[in-house]
Amino acid sequence: MSISVVPVDKTDVPAIVEIEQAAFSDPWSARSFQDALAHPAVFFACARNDSNDSNDSNGGNGGDGDVLGYVVAWFVADEGEIANLAVAPAGWGRGIGRTLLDAALSEARARKANAVYLEVRDSNERARRLYGSREFEEIGRRRNYYQLPDEDAIVLRRTLTQDV
């Protein structure tokens, strides 16, 4: 499967909301995603399957051009925050999350960020492994940050070096 990461446009929002609802117990609203589209400090991109693999039998989740996942990050001054990253369940284990995270980190470098932060549920081992593979380090904990169910957030930071 060949994946491309492209800017989101308003026609992608329904597919993103569907992925969001499958991935999170307390999902963002369609309005939240629409608002992100209009903000210049936001990097909002989606992963698409751009292969012509007709043997992909994901029932509409993974066909050519389908939105397979997305990332929302914002940047202020010399810092960034990954606010949301999710992959459609049909795309799990295919490197889509890694590709989206790498795109956000590339954008952070392009915007001259020195560090990128995020929060992740304490129990989300899959995401914690992904972030660890990209050198994010735990710097704190927010007690009962998440709801449905109540759970701590682990605060992670990735310090960036500006490659020349």
CB-based contact 76:42 (threshold 8 Å): no
Tell me the DSSP string of 123-146. Answer: T-HHHHHHHHHTT-EEEEEEEEEE
Angstrom distance (rounded) from CA 70 to CA 64: 16
Kindly report the pTM of this predicted structure: 0.89
Q: What is d(CA 17, CA 6) in angstroms, rounded to the nearest whole number?
A: 17
Tokens 């999902």 map to which residue? 27
**Per-residue confidence of the chain (164 residues) as pLDDT tens digits?**
689 999 999 999 999 999 999 999 999 999 999 999 999 999 999 999 876 544 443 434 455 579 999 999 999 999 999 999 999 999 999 999 999 999 999 999 999 999 999 999 999 999 999 999 999 999 999 999 998 899 999 999 999 986 54
* Residue-level pLDDT at 2: 86
What integer pLDDT is reported at residue 51 of this predicted model? 66
pLDDT at 64: 59
Q: What is the pLDDT of residue 50?
A: 78
Delineate the domains of the chain, giving CATH numbers in brackets.
Answer: 3-159 (3.40.630.30)
